[in-house]
Amino acid sequence: MNLKEGIAERRSIRGYLDTPVSKELLKEVITLASRAVSAVNAQPWKFHIVTGEPLAAIRKENLNCIEQGCPEEFEDAAVDGIYKTRRIEIAKQLYGAMEIAREDKERRTWWNNRGVNFFDAPAGIIITRDKILGMSYNFDVGCVAQNLCLAAMAHGLGTCVAYQPLTYLHVLREVLGISEDEEFVCGVAIGYPDPAFAANHVRSNRESVDKTACWYGFED
Ligand SMILES: Cc1cc2nc3c(=O)[nH]c(=O)nc-3n(C[C@H](O)[C@H](O)[C@H](O)COP(=O)(O)O)c2cc1C
């Protein structure tokens, strides 16, 4: 797969095989991803990679929190207008693929809980940045996250960048010992994609460049 194909074909993977992913492979993926751009080469990212027992402990605690109705701790920006429309559109695509009906509360809860728990992937990566750096450094971390998705793909792995695994930050801090000096940026589920998982075949839409690009000084 070349670079162009990788970029064009990348998609969020929300269903994984149980096959474990080795530390060696994950290290290779993260090393490649770390070639990302960053302001003043600050490289403000930190990766917390989790599998096995600690991941099981996070999942158990997250489910406890859900059951007890604990308040969510990560603020996902509320969206309106065109952004709300796009959010509904991708949700419809995913629920449609998974045959989850609007009124099917049980399956909706199942779907949400999977998201919180890294989509049942064999490994999860929590990306943080040093709190001392301002929000503008989230951009750099975004770049490394996209690189991570592409580098993973080059090794046959799938990923889903997600906020859902950040729902209960105290669980991640407690189980992994993440210090208060670190700000959470995103979670990334990682593993070998399950080809039989319908949502993995969803192709999300993109706005036409005619609507997103403004051109200056060109002939036509
Ligand atoms: C910062 C960020 C947070 C996201 N959070 C979630 C999430 O919590 N749950 C989820 O299912 N997908 C999440 N996604 C994945 C997006 O829904 C997905 O990238 C978008 O719909 C485009 O689809 P694609 O990645 O398949 O191209 C997130 C993506 C980003 C960049």
CB-ligand 1 contact for 186 (6 Å cutoff): yes
Q: What pLDDT score does 79 carry?
A: 84
The average confidence (pLDDT) of the chain is 96
Q: What pLDDT score does 188 carry?
A: 98
pLDDT in tens, 106-135: 999 999 999 999 999 999 999 999 999 988
Atom of ligand 1 nearest to the CA of 185: 1
Query: How many A from CA of 90 to the centre of ligand 1?
Result: 9
Q: What pLDDT score does 220 carry?
A: 77
**Among candidate residues 162, 121, 123, the one with its CA nearest the CA of residue 15:** 121
Query: How many A from CA of 161 to the centre of ligand 1?
Result: 6
Q: What is the mean pLDDT of residues 59-73?
A: 97
Evaluate if residue 181 carries a pLDDT over 90.
yes
CB-ligand 1 contact for 12 (6 Å cutoff): yes
Burial group, residue 73, by CB count within 10 angstroms (0-12, 13-18, 19+): middle
Query: CA-CA distance, 36 to 141, in Å (whole number)?
Result: 9
How many Cα neighbours within 13 Å face the side chain of 204? 15
Evaluate if residue 44 carries a pLDDT over 80.
yes
Q: What pLDDT score does 135 carry?
A: 84
Query: How many A from CA of 77 to the centre of ligand 1?
Result: 13
Angle subtended by helix axes 81-98 and 105-116, to nearest 10: 110
Token readout for 73 is 């701790």
Question: At 219, is the pLDDT very low, low, confident or very high (cuts 50, 70, 90)?
Answer: very high
Token readout for 197 is 């998982």
pLDDT in tens, 78-102: 789 999 999 999 999 999 999 999 9
CB-ligand 1 contact for 153 (6 Å cutoff): no
Q: What pLDDT score does 152 carry?
A: 98
| Residue having the nearest C-alpha atom to atom 10 of ligand 1 | 162
Query: How many A from CA of 65 to the centre of ligand 1?
Result: 23
Q: What is the mean pLDDT of residues 36-55?
A: 97
